[in-house]
Chain A
Amino acid sequence: MSTETPVPTPASQPVLRAENLHRSLGEGESRVHVLRGINLQLKPAMTYSVAGPSGCGKSTMLYLLGLLDRQDKGQIWIRGELMSDASDAERTAARSRHIGFVFQFHFLLPEFSAAENVMLPMKKLGARSPEEMRSRAEYLLGLVGLGAKADRLATHLSGGEQQRVAIARSLANDPALLLADEPTGNLDVANSNMVFDLLQRLTRETGQAILMVTHNPELAERTDARLRMQDGQFVV
């Protein structure tokens, strides 16, 4: 893995490229062919939205692209490096450096405060001093409107607040690629718009590529590219 900090990659090189991804889930009789040949390119400084009926495989795809799961077939390159068949250690390092992930269901560590949750990825990457990590966590929580609740325990936050903490955490290491599974699912209109505006601004400022699954047509309308998924494939 390269040790460079995530600076905007040349427009010619996609942040992520996936070719012919296949994935089946379940065992034996109940085995389902969920993903049936996904082809995808995500360019820096672009926002992408994915929509599609429930159960069509959106989350499954996101786990593959986020290197959290292994495909049955196909390849994934992150910033030009083949990651689909790399070792667990390399994939883990790539997650740490290049990928921010927002789960469909906000996943925070309940024993930790909001700020500590945001600091976790920074601690692992080890590029910042404790003071820098703390101030960056406060800054990111401020961006999602939670500056005042940095020291609240994760379990003492509302669902929407937890989701915003998860978004702040996904941005902790300035990832080149942000994968978000319905990041605004639990948010009211005002907060949805705030989060979306924030993500779009970051894309412009830092050249991040953002792929988000959303059922909200208004938000989808505002992304640079809209993808539709059906039965494990993109449809036009």
Chain B
Amino acid sequence: MLMSLAGIVFGVGFFIVTQAQTSGFEKFYIDTIIGADSPIRIEDRFQLPGVAIKGAGGEGEETDFYTKTDSNRKYTRGIEYPNKLRAAVEDFSDVTAVSEVLQGDARAISSFSEELANVLGIRIKDHLQVTDIQNQIKWGSIDNFRFNPSSVLLSIGLAERLQLQIGDYMLFEYAGETRRYKVVGIFETGISQIDKSRVFMQLGEARALFKKPFGQAFFQIGVRNVEQAGLLAERLEEALNHNVVPWQERERSWLQVFSVLRISSAITVSTIILISGLGMFNTLAMLVMEKTREIAILRSIGYTRQDISRIFLWQGVLVLIAGTVCGWAFGAGVTLAISKLPIKIRGIFTADSFVVNWDINHYIWAAVVAGITVMIASYIPARRAAALEPGTIIRGTSI
């Protein structure tokens, strides 16, 4: 029984610890990607005849005439009628902010070297509301960027490779034309892919650089409830006739890796609980055999089958309660200890210690797994005890 108890304590504890870690990293990753790229993007317009953008005040004008193809949707690049679309998007109560972004690749040139840069043209006032850029700035200031049209915010990797610091000047070259900018801020998102190529400049500047005076932009959307972004995206897509991509879809491959990790660790750790369940089953089955005489006595003086099975189930419940509570404490303790462990992670996100997620659901699930195991492990012996015929036992032992 003590072994089973220990098994349940460790099983429940490790269940919680592994879930806290995997979901901690997952959550951290999600926070990172949403902080860098907002929860929802509205990208390209579907080419569907007869469907107009539902504007806030009036109705949209229909300009494109394509045959409708069900299997293969066609897109026109970028959003159309940004102002109308913005008004329509802002009509959704779950949307908190809209930021229009124009994206393009340009050559970044410093006196030291050249790199290919991914330039995002933004309105900083809007962009602050849909991403976490405020907290990603490591040096410099957003205010300088706001008030100086020929300034840029540089990602940390790019700044390092170009050997640029705050206050330095640099060039961007696109289609043979070069424009000069001042570095006023350096930011780090934690995602190495972004941190080695992204540059923010004002939307008007980006349009001038890429020679796209209008169109071809996309929207980044801030939402009230990040978890519900998928549903909101569906509604937006239906209403706006644009391709709408929530973060769940955008980052699907990594999110799947995380959920596979989380589930597989849950299964692995559950086997500890399962094995202690087997041990407990064994112990209880032995106990029933040892106690047949006592069972017969109790039955002979009026105790019912249910009374007998309750006695053995109660043993299981006691082990379960003790094991779960100790396991919770153990799991919480180890989780706390682990969150203090230093570890250097660079790549899909940046962390300097183990990231853990404190979630009551992990504790509930650990208890559920332990509960089911223990109840099965004690139910079968308890049933067997209840089925014993008092006469048979007493005759058998009265030798």
User: A residues near B, CB below 8 A?
Assistant: 25, 59-60, 63-64, 66, 68-70, 88-89, 92-93, 95-97, 101, 103-105, 107-110, 120-121, 124-125, 169, 172-173
A120 touches B390 (CB 8 A): no
Q: Say yes or no: A121-B302 contact (C-beta < 8 A), given A68-B390, A69-B391.
A: yes
| Cα(A104)–Cα(B296), bound, Å | 14
**A157–B397 CA distance with the chains assembled, in angstroms:** 20
Q: Is the CB of B398 within 8 A of A103?
A: yes
B299 touches A (CB below 8 Å): yes
Q: Which of A70, A88, A96, A172 contacts B305 (CB 8 A)?
A: A88
| Given the contacts A68-B390, A69-B391, A124-B307, A109 and B398 also touching, CB distance less than 8 Å | no
Q: Indicate if the CB atoms of A104 and B398 lie closer than 8 Å.
A: yes
A69 contacts B299, C-beta separation under 8 Å:
no
Check A124–B300 contact: CB distance below 8 A.
Answer: no
Given contacts A107-B297, A109-B294, whether A68 and B302 have CB atoms under 8 Å apart is no
Contact of A69 among B302, B303, B305, B392 (CB under 8 A): B392
Q: Is the CB of A105 within 8 A of B302?
A: no
Name A23's closest neighbour in chain B (CB-CB).
Answer: B391
Does B394 sit at the interface, judged by CB under 8 A?
Answer: yes
Most buried by A among B296, B298, B305, B390: B390
Residues of A within 8 A of B297 (CB): 107-109
CB distance from A129 to the nearest CB of B (A): 18
In contact, B398 and A121 (Cβ under 8 angstroms): no
B residues 262-304 with Cβ under 8 Å of A? 293-294, 296-304
Q: Is B395 an interface residue, CB under 8 A from the partner?
A: yes
Tell me which residues across on chain A come within 8 A of B64, comparing CB atoms: none
**Counting chain A CB atoms within 10 Å of each CB, which of B296, B301, B389, B395 scores highest?**
B301
Interchain CA distance A89-B308 in the complex, whole Å: 13
Report the bound CA distance from A68 to B391 in whole Å: 5
* CB-based contact A59/B300 at 8 Å: no
Nearest residue, chain B, Cβ from A125: B302
B interface residues with partner A (beta carbon < 8 Å): 293-294, 296-305, 307, 389-392, 394-395, 397-398
> Which residue, B297, B305, B389, has most C-beta atoms of chain A within 10 A?
B297
Contact B304 A89 (CB under 8 A): yes
Closest 10 CB pairs of A and B: A96-B302, A69-B391, A68-B391, A121-B301, A124-B302, A63-B391, A68-B390, A95-B302, A107-B297, A92-B304
Across the interface, name the chain A residue whose C-beta is closest to B294: A109
Given contacts A63-B391, A95-B300, A103-B398, 4 further A-B contacts (CB under 8 A): A95-B299, A101-B301, A109-B297, A125-B302
CA distance A106 to B293 in the complex (A): 11
Closest to B399 in A: A105
Which residue, of A69, A92, A173, has the highest number of chain B Cβ atoms within 10 A?
A92
Do B398 and A66 touch across chains, with their CB atoms under 8 A apart?
A: no
Inter-chain contacts of B398 with A (CB < 8 A): 59, 103-105
Distance (whole angstroms) from the CB of B201 to the closest CB of chain A: 82
**Distance between A105 CB and nearest chain B CB, rounded to angstroms:** 5
CA A121 – CA B303 in complex, angstroms? 8
Q: Is the CB of A107 within 8 A of B391?
A: no
Distance in angstroms between the alpha carbons of A25 and B293 in the assembled complex? 19
Q: 21 A-B residue contacts at CB 8 Å?
A: A63-B394, A68-B299, A69-B391, A69-B392, A70-B391, A89-B304, A92-B304, A95-B299, A95-B300, A95-B302, A96-B301, A96-B302, A97-B302, A103-B300, A103-B394, A105-B398, A107-B300, A120-B301, A121-B302, A124-B302, A169-B301
**Cα–Cα distance between A109 and B292 once the two chains are bound (Å):** 11
Q: Chain B CB within 10 Å — which of A64, A105, A107, A121 has the most?
A: A107
Cβ-closest chain A residue relative to B392: A69
